[in-house]
Amino acid sequence: MTRIAFIADIHHGRDVMTKKSSLGLPLLARFADFVRQERPDIVIDLGDRISDENRERDLLLERQVAEAFKAIDVPVFHLNGNHDRDFLEVADNEQILGQSLGHQIVDLGEWQVILWRADTHIHRLETHSTFRLADGDLEWLAAQMKALLKPTVIATHVPLSGQSQTSNYYFENNPHIARYPETAEIQAVVRAAKVPVICISGHVHWNTLTFVDGIPHVTLQSLTETFTTMPEAAEAWGVLDLGDMVRWSAFGRQRFGFEVDAASTAQRWPQPHGNFHEMRRKAMAAAAL
């Protein structure tokens, strides 16, 4: 059995909006205790380690989070979220965390993890804000998906499902920054996989499960978010147990989990049916000829 522990959207810093950012470090210390007890093979930090303010302050906050992660005694892999990139570069985060933050595959024996560290900087344009894949992000993922030989976990900061954001505190009115504009292209690439796949991400600050093409897409609640557990912080983290069955368990103030047959996640679903009304109209028009 392979076990991975996940933590998302720590948001260490000053309390902002519905985030209890001041609890980031104490809760991270509790996560380190949990990891010592549960003994996962690895830990994955899904990004947004800080609540950003300015470059100087963000460098300090990131260093404090990196220091706190040293209490974890299994290998830790980090992804950058948008808040790690508002005032900081990828290279700043690499230097602070002491690891490369490019795309990476982590081999765990029966299973492997793809850390798809696609660009998470939010571009603030005159008319709207948007994520934007960097040159080579999609091509790298496409090459991996075509060549997959073993069951795979895909970890990203931004969800790849394009799921509904109805009732999400941040994203109901900002759904375009809950996803990449290239979501359809990403999904076309991911569906090429002929092995079991599960996608795990952070960013949207709630616990969800959505299936796309037979592939489960999970989002993990933020460690310090309050909007789903008012007035307390969610204190969330997750554990993924990987075998013939895939089991997801999210801990904290909103327990959540599910199990799915790993083999079923290798089964792609057919292209959805065309528009019923359009097809009926065309058929009637053809019959009238």
* Closest separation in Å from C-beta 250 to Fe ion: 16
- Per the CB < 8 A criterion, the answer to whether 162 and 183 are in contact is yes
- Pull the structure tokens for residue 197: 């796949």
- Pull the structure tokens for residue 91: 């290279």
Element containing residue 218 per DSSP (H, E): strand 215-219
Residue 86, interface with Fe ion (CB under 5 A)?
Answer: no
- Name which of residues 174 to 203 contact Fe ion (CB under 5 A): none
- Per the CB < 8 A criterion, the answer to whether 274 and 265 are in contact is no
DSSP, collapsed to helix, strand or coil, labels residue 225 as: strand
* Backbone phi, psi, residue 266, to 5°: -95, -5
Nearer to Fe ion, 112 or 222 (CB): 222
Nearer to Fe ion, 51 or 112 (CB): 51
* Closest separation in Å from C-beta 2 to Fe ion: 27
* Closest separation in Å from C-beta 81 to Fe ion: 6
- Per the CB < 8 A criterion, the answer to whether 25 and 14 are in contact is no
Residue 9, interface with Fe ion (CB under 5 A)?
Answer: yes
Question: Omega of the bond prior to 196 within 30 degrees of 0, cis?
Answer: no
Residue 48, interface with Fe ion (CB under 5 A)?
Answer: yes
Residue 235, interface with Fe ion (CB under 5 A)?
Answer: no
* Closest separation in Å from C-beta 222 to Fe ion: 6
Nearer to Fe ion, 20 or 111 (CB): 20
Residue 45, interface with Fe ion (CB under 5 A)?
Answer: no
- Name which of residues 156 to 175 contact Fe ion (CB under 5 A): none
- Pull the structure tokens for residue 96: 């602070």
* Closest separation in Å from C-beta 13 to Fe ion: 11
Residues lying near Fe ion in the complex (CB under 5 A) are found at 9, 48
